[in-house]
């Protein structure tokens, strides 16, 4: 029983990592209607910025993180302006291809700038393992879970209780109507991407101590993020959290009770199951097209 | 207007294809050496008579030798260490005036640790550059595809890789310049089972071809002791979450664990093992032999981690001590075990060439003759004495090394 | 004059949808534009609200030239509209929908919201109060926390109107507001429009429902094939020969 509990905790910790990134991914999807394939790579860039500020320049952590967020947001906005904006009036598939291209560019740019090897990133939350009975908890992972929850709550508050948040929701539900209400599309676009990049940076900073910082760190997690988004419901904030946690759980439980050889495959199986039974995702909205 | 655009697009695509086809893989630009040749015209005034009737005296024949190693990517460090070892050998060969009839023309190319690139590189070397031998490759996943090609075309390949299956195909042109995983794992498991009396051993292997080959060997060795792994887990390349594997390892009560993981993965896995299980479990890791392992792990985490190798900077014989000194003077860092492989490989080629009496490089069977010369070579290098057997192996045993206070310490010397 | 449209022509390729139309509406007026199908009403309507741009001509709103302005800028100047296909924010509550309508008037931005400055809370409260007041005005206050997609059709229209009104526009454009309504709902609509006019807001309606039009309009403009064929008070229009002919079709 303890083993089961332990592995569930592992899965949830892993899942909360995915969830944070998926939140950012879903924000973009719900407001802009596009799948941002490069989300994982933006996280990678954020982690590298954090590496520069926190490790190389040895700035204190509460200075390094905001700086990294600002830099990464700027990078994201530049990408949006140059690569995505010209394609908004075109097909969605074209935009998706563009994000795939951006993903490759970011990875290779990172390799050129920072190098191809892995870099150590010190943990921000040091501390010994906490033991509760037979079960152990790693402090870093607890923090990730906590940050994830806080982020979701803040996001929720923001979306419901502020003008800008409401405007973003309005845009995601009905673009033309929102424009009529005086919502400035360009501003909302920038805010959407900016928020997404900021969240990705935080995710990167939390992941870096565990897996180290390297140019391809966004690749496999990017895939899990997309799976989480579809499983939880594209464009849905609670769906992002649910999807991420589920994917993490499935990965951990599958690895434990079936086989670790196919650990990466279990999320895909989950994806198939969800797609076959509820294609809009567990918490997703059904798209009804009026003919 | 539309047709004009289509034409332009076609031209662009064609030129891109042309450019892609023509671009050779360049070695890392920060690397000082690109092609090396030993040329010292002053050596020709050596009073020793030359037996050679093929090459005119005072003129050395250039022997193109391909070197395919990883100079970019996560494992670039390994290639650079290899090359640095080669450079020291080249210097010594020149100082000693070993090569009277030949000049080593090394073509060093980056294989990017990618099988497709490796194939292209080796093909280019054999068919375009027309090398007479190839030294390479470090990572066995790549050698698995390029070795057959070299053998098919009669190009001797000196392989600094550890995959034991290379010598099991009856290749006449295969020569290994180090030990095998089998030898290494034998040493490792002997240490665990015979020396320490452990019975509960676990294994965490990568699902890649190389990882699974190592897994097969490990299983066989365990079987020979009548033992089975108490924990038998895999991980996929790129997956950094080892929590499940480590948890299962803990549950199994293993006293020691062997992992095929390369340096970066090994460090992440090691961290998680120490976090969850503690310091008591012994860890034997392939990746711990790589030069960036210590840097990435730090001396504290690396403490007590075991790896197998044929050569380590901790060895105290004169040759090794000299090598370490020269290496540190030239590069400012300690040599890795791949540096010794690079050193020995270069010396082997040179020694073999020296015994060929200036045979004409352009002769059709030069490579075949070179292969014979290599097989008959009698060379004592850093890793030991090289006498090749029929299948191209020189060593069947390896040493077991551990890290103590950030230094390499020999645990078991076969 | 609150709004004047001078010599508005709208061509799409070779088709002339709106042909040299002059139009004006004053504050507090309820104006209707009617005409048979294809007369160019919607096109002209869209030109005024910024959905489309006229090929030639000028539109002045409150003294400003708004001919080439995009719709969100026009909204800021005090002109809002509703749509034939109801464009509500389905998953938001009734209250939230109306609150979005006041977007341009809320004096916060991303930065101040993140910093949670005190005036953010004040603005939010003010927005809620305004929205509730508007919902009360159209009679939808009891439904304020319901999901807007779950409202009956007639009430959705009223919600749209409330949303368009909350920002305090000077001119409200209603695009076929009575479409699909039954008698009771139409009566409610008429009452609401009257009260809107009493607040001093000018209302411009495009509509097919003659009962509604004749009931509330101060003046009616009739378009046929892109041209103005009649303009005047309801009684005049009802008696106008050309108008009757236009509606009865070409058989006559």
DSSP bridge partners of C64: C61
For B293, the domain range is 182-309+400-413
Beta strands in B183-286 (DSSP E): 201-206, 231-235, 256-259, 282-285
Which helix (H) or strand (E) is B104 found in, with range? Answer: strand B102-110
Which chains does chain A touch, 3 or more C-beta pairs < 8 A? B, C
Residues B297, B407: one domain? yes
Q: Is residue B17 part of a domain?
A: no
From chain A, the residues in CB contact with B235 under 8 A are 260, 263
Which chains does chain C touch, 3 or more C-beta pairs < 8 A? A
C134 CB-near residues (< 8 Å, 6+ apart) = C98, C101, C162, C165, C166
Q: Which two tokens stand for residue B17?
A: 């294809």
Check if the beta carbon of residue B84 is closer than 8 Å to that of residue B327: yes
A71: confidence class by pLDDT, cuts 50, 70, 90: very high
Q: Is residue A288 part of a domain?
A: no
B329 CB-near residues (< 8 Å, 6+ apart) = none
For tokens 């933006």, name the residue: A42
Q: Is residue A227 part of a domain?
A: yes
ipTM of the complex: 0.81
Position A261 scores a pLDDT of: 84
Distance CA B163, CA C171 (A): 81
Indicate the pTM of the whole model: 0.78
CATH number for the domain that contains residue A21: 1.10.3470
Which whole number is the average pLDDT over A50-63?
89
Residues B206, B139: one domain? no
| Residue to test with chain C: of A156, A179, A180, A198, most C Cβ within 10 A | A180
CB contact under 8 A, C87 and A158: no
Q: Is residue A282 part of a domain?
A: no
For A78, the domain range is 2-277
From chain B, the residues in CB contact with A212 under 8 A are 240, 264, 267-268, 296
pLDDT tens digits along A3-44: 888 888 888 888 888 998 999 999 999 888 888 999 999 999
pLDDT tens digits along A172-203: 888 878 877 778 888 899 999 999 999 999 99
Q: CB-based contact (8 Å) between A47 and chain B?
A: no
Between chain A and chain B, the number of residue pairs with CB atoms below 8 A apart is 73
CB contact under 8 A, A260 and B245: yes
CB contact under 8 A, B244 and A214: no
Position B13 scores a pLDDT of: 67
Which chain B residue shows the shortest CA-CA distance from A213?
B264
For tokens 């001797």, name the residue: B156
Q: Is residue B54 part of a domain?
A: no
Distance CA C59, CA C77 (A): 13
Which chain A residue shows the shortest CA-CA distance from B30?
A115
Q: Is residue B175 part of a domain?
A: yes
* The Cα angle at residue B237 between residues B234 and B239, in degrees rounded to 5: 85
DSSP bridge partners of B159: B176
Pairing of strands C227-232, C219-224: antiparallel
In chain A, the number of structural domains is 1
Residues B363, B272: one domain? no
Residues B99, B223: one domain? no
Q: Is residue B146 part of a domain?
A: yes
A27 CB-near residues (< 8 Å, 6+ apart) = A155, A168, A192, A195, A196, A199, A237
Q: Is residue A85 part of a domain?
A: yes
Q: Which two tokens stand for residue C147?
A: 């999901």
Q: Which of B205-214, C19-28, C241-250 shows the lowest mean pLDDT across its residues?
A: C241-250
Q: Is residue A153 part of a domain?
A: yes
- Between B263-276 and A185-211, two packed helices, what is the crossing angle to 10 degrees? 80
Residues B136, B149: one domain? yes
Across A145-154, A242-251, C101-110, C140-149, the highest mean pLDDT is recorded for A242-251
Position A231 scores a pLDDT of: 93
Whether C and B touch (3+ CB pairs < 8 Å), yes or no: no
Q: Is residue B42 part of a domain?
A: no
Distance CA C145, CA C130 (A): 15
Which helix (H) or strand (E) is C204 found in, with range? Answer: strand C202-206
Position C252 scores a pLDDT of: 38
Q: Which of A116-130, B137-151, C205-219 shows the lowest mean pLDDT across its residues?
A: A116-130
Residues B407, B267: one domain? yes
Q: Is residue A285 part of a domain?
A: no
Distance CA B265, CA B242 (A): 9
Distance CA B370, CA B216 (A): 34
Q: Is the pLDDT of residue A137 over 90?
A: no
Check if the beta carbon of residue B43 is closer than 8 Å to that of residue B100: yes
Q: Which two tokens stand for residue C210?
A: 């003659």
Residues B162, B191: one domain? no
Q: CB-based contact (8 Å) between C86 and chain A?
A: no
Q: Is residue A132 part of a domain?
A: yes
> Which stretches of chain B drop beneath a pLDDT of 70?
1-3, 5-6, 9, 13, 15-58, 414
CATH number for the domain that contains residue B276: 3.40.50.2300
Pairing of strands B399-404, B407-412: antiparallel
- Is the pLDDT higher at B346 or at C81? B346
Out of C76, C92, C124, name the one closest to residue A169 (CB).
C92
Q: Which two tokens stand for residue C92?
A: 């938001």
Q: Is residue B40 part of a domain?
A: no
CB contact under 8 A, A259 and B238: no
Which helix (H) or strand (E) is C130 found in, with range? Answer: helix C118-138
Residues B283, B350: one domain? no
Residue B390 exposed, middle or buried by CB count within 10 Å (0-12, 13-18, 19+): exposed
Q: Which two tokens stand for residue C140?
A: 């939808």
Q: Is residue B22 part of a domain?
A: no
User: Edge-to-edge strands of the sheet including C3-12?
Assistant: C15-25, C3-12, C56-61, C64-65
Position A287 scores a pLDDT of: 61
Distance (Å) from the alpha carbon of C235 to chain A's nearest alpha carbon: 35
Q: Is residue B165 part of a domain?
A: yes
Which chain A residue shows the shortest CA-CA distance from C120?
A162
Residues B280, B292: one domain? yes
> What's CA B171's distance to the chain center, in Å?
19
Q: Is residue A108 part of a domain?
A: yes
C34 CB-near residues (< 8 Å, 6+ apart) = C41, C206, C207, C208, C210, C213, C220, C221, C222, C223, C237
CB contact under 8 A, C72 and A183: yes
Distance CA C121, CA C132 (A): 17
In chain B, the number of structural domains is 2
- Between B318-331 and B76-96, two packed helices, what is the crossing angle to 10 degrees? 110
From chain A, the residues in CB contact with C101 under 8 A are 181
CB contact under 8 A, C101 and A181: yes
């Amino acid at each position: 029983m303890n083993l089961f509990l332990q592995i569930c905790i592992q899965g949830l910790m892993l899942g909360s990592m995915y969830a944070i990134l998926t939140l950012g991914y879903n924000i973009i999807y719900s407001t802009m209607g596009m799948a941002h394939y490069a989300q994982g790579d933006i996280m990678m860039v954020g982690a590298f910025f954090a590496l520069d500020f926190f490790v190389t320049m040895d700035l204190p952590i509460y200075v390094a993180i905001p700086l990294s967020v600002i830099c990464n947001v700027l990078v994201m906005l530049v990408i949006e302006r140059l690569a995505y904006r010209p394609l908004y009036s075109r097909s969605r598939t074209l935009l998706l291809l563009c994000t795939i291209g951006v993903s490759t560019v970011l990875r290779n740019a990172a390799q050129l700038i920072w190098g191809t090897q892995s870099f150590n990133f010190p943990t921000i939350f040091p501390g010994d393992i906490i033991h509760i009975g037979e079960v152990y908890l790693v402090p870093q992972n607890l923090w990730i879970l906590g940050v994830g929850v806080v982020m979701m709550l803040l996001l929720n508050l923001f979306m419901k209780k502020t003008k800008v948040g409401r405007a973003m929701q309005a845009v995601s539900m009905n673009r033309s109507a929102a424009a009529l209400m005086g919502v400035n599309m360009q501003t909302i676009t920038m805010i959407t991407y900016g928020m997404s990049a900021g969240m990705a940076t935080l995710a990167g900073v939390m992941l870096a101590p565990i897996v180290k910082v390297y140019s391809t760190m966004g690749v496999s997690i990017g895939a899990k993020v997309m799976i989480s988004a579809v499983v939880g419901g594209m464009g849905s904030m609670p769906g992002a959290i649910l999807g991420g946690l589920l994917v993490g759980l499935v990965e951990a439980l599958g690895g434990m009770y079936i086989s670790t050889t196919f650990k990466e495959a279990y999320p895909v199986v989950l994806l198939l199951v969800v797609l076959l039974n509820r294609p809009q995702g567990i918490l997703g909205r059904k798209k009804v097209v009026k003919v | 207007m539309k047709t004009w655009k289509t034409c332009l697009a076609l031209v662009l695509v064609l030129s891109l294809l042309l450019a892609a086809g023509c671009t050779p893989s360049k070695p890392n630009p920060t690397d000082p050496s690109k092609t090396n040749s030993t040329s010292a015209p002053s050596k020709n005034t050596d009073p020793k008579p030359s037996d050679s009737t093929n090459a005119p005296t005072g003129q050395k024949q250039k022997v193109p030798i391909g070197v395919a190693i990883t100079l970019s990517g996560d494992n670039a460090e390994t290639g650079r260490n290899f090359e640095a070892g080669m450079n020291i050998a080249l210097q010594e060969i020149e100082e000693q005036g070993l090569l009277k009839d030949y000049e080593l023309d090394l073509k060093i190319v980056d294989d990017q640790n990618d099988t497709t690139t490796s194939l292209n590189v080796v093909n280019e070397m054999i068919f375009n550059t027309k090398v007479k031998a190839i030294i390479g490759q470090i990572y066995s996943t790549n050698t698995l595809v390029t070795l057959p090609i070299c053998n098919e075309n009669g190009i001797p390949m000196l392989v600094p890789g550890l995959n034991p299956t290379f010598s099991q195909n009856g290749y006449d042109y295969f020569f290994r310049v180090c030990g095998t995983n089998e030898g290494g794992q034998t040493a490792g498991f002997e240490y665990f089972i015979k020396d320490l009396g452990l019975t509960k051993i676990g294994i965490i292997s990568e699902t890649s071809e190389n990882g699974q080959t190592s897994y097969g060997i490990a299983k066989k060795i365990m079987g020979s002791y009548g033992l089975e792994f108490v924990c038998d887990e895999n991980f996929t390349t790129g997956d950094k979450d080892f929590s499940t594997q480590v948890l299962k390892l803990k549950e199994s009560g293993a006293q020691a664990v062997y992992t095929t993981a390369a340096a970066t993965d090994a460090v992440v896995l090691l961290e998680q093992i120490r976090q969850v299980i503690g310091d008591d479990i012994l860890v034997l890791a392939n990746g711990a032999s790589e030069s960036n392992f210590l840097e990435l792990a730090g001396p504290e985490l690396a403490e007590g981690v075991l790896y197998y190798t044929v050569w380590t900077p901790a060895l105290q014989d004169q040759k090794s001590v000299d090598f370490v000194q020269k290496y540190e003077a030239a590069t400012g860092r300690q040599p890795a075990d791949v540096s010794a492989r690079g050193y020995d490989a270069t010396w082997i080629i040179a020694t073999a060439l020296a015994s060929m009496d200036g045979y004409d490089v352009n002769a059709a069977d030069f490579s075949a003759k070179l292969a014979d010369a290599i097989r008959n070579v009698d060379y004592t290098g850093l890793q030991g004495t090289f006498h090749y057997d029929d299948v191209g192996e020189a060593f069947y045993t390896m040493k077991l090394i551990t890290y103590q206070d950030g230094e390499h310490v020999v645990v078991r010397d076969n | 004059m609150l709004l004047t449209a001078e010599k508005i022509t709208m061509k799409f390729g070779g088709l002339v949808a709106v042909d040299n139309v002059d139009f004006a509406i004053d504050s507090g007026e309820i104006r209707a534009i009617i005409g048979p199908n294809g007369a160019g009403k919607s096109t002209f309507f869209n030109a005024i609200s910024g959905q489309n741009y006229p090929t030639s001509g000028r539109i002045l709103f409150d003294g400003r030239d708004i001919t080439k302005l995009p719709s969100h800028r026009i909204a800021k100047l005090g002109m809002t509209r509703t749509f034939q296909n109801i464009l509500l924010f389905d998953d938001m509550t009734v209250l939230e929908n109306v609150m979005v309508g006041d977007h341009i008037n809320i004096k916060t931005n991303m930065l101040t919201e993140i910093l949670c400055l005190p005036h953010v809370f004040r603005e939010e409260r003010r927005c809620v109060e305004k929205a509730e007041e508007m919902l009360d005005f159209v009679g939808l206050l009891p439904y304020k926390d319901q999901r807007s997609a779950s409202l009956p059709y007639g009430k959705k229209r009223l919600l749209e109107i409330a949303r368009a009104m909350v920002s305090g526009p000077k001119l409200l454009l209603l695009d076929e507001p009575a479409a699909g309504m039954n008698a009771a709902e139409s009566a409610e609509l008429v009452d609401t429009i009257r009260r809107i006019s009493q607040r001093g807001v000018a209302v411009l309606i495009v509509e097919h429902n003659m009962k509604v039009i004749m009931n509330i309009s101060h003046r009616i403009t009739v378009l046929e094939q892109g041209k103005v064929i009649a303009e005047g008070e309801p009684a005049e229009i009802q008696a106008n020969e050309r108008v009757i002919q236009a509606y009865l079709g070409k058989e006559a």
